[in-house]
Amino acid sequence: MNINVESTPKALGFAAGSHAAALIKKTIEDKGSANIILATGTSQFETLNQLIAEPEIDWSKVTMFHLDEYIGISILHGASFRKYLKERFLDKLPLLAAANLINAEEDATQECERLSDLIKASPIDVALVGIGENGHLAFNDPPADFDTDEPYIIVKLDELCRKQQMNEGWFATIADVPTEAISMSIKQIMLSENIICSVPDQRKAVAVRNTLENDISNSYPASILQKHPNCFLYLDIDSASLLSV
């Protein structure tokens, strides 16, 4: 794992977004196309802004998958990750080759199967991810399933995860936060050729410490990133503040 500590969230986003863009451009140059994963949430604001601003990416050769979505949430809901990606990314890049969004409004099991078939045929070149306050990777809350080979799975959201979603302003009360979601699995994320992980803010400091300074364990789901040879972790001073070195 490569660890980068930037001065501010904006500087973090600039560095992470620029790096992701360089990887995407190199992949297109080498392979003729690129498959990417995009994360959502407040931690990704600056990274996505920079990625969109990067010049000379042929987006017509890029296929996108995203990490997770609440079960039962309409695309019109303010917390919908489909809505997030549409407004913050897809509407600004109309030439994207394909966008494989998760529709968890109806049959979640069938949607997992549909997306799993698509991603099995589309090896991921660059994955943009974050780490939750509880250490989750995507919506794989602790204790995360490190064993399933299924690319997309139905998961239960724990209380700390649901509180984070409320505290970030996506929901008015914790009772409004769904208890289940479709999530990309840990194994599928780890199959990505390159991983760019953006984690700003003091509230993520404990999770960052647990990710980097504990043994790999499904109690600290993001700790699995220690095993990935091309994982680039971007922190700011606040999120890195509890690291021992």
Whether residue 71 contacts residue 108, with contact meaning beta carbons closer than 8 Å, is answered with: yes
Q: What is the pTM of this model?
A: 0.96
CA distance to 26, 108, 120, 202, per residue, from 192 (Å): 15, 24, 12, 28
pLDDT of residue 245: 77
pLDDT of residue 136: 98
- Low-confidence residues of the chain: pLDDT under 70: none
Tell me the per-residue pLDDT of 69-122, one tens digit each, with 9 for 90 and over.
Answer: 999 999 999 999 999 999 999 999 988 999 999 999 989 999 999 999 999 999
What domains lie within the chain, and their CATH numbers?
A: 2-236 (3.40.50.1360)
Residue 4: strand pairing partners:
234
pLDDT of residue 172: 95
Q: Please, which residues have CB within 8 angstroms of residue 127's CB and are 6 or more apart in sequence? A: 36, 37, 189, 192, 194, 195, 196
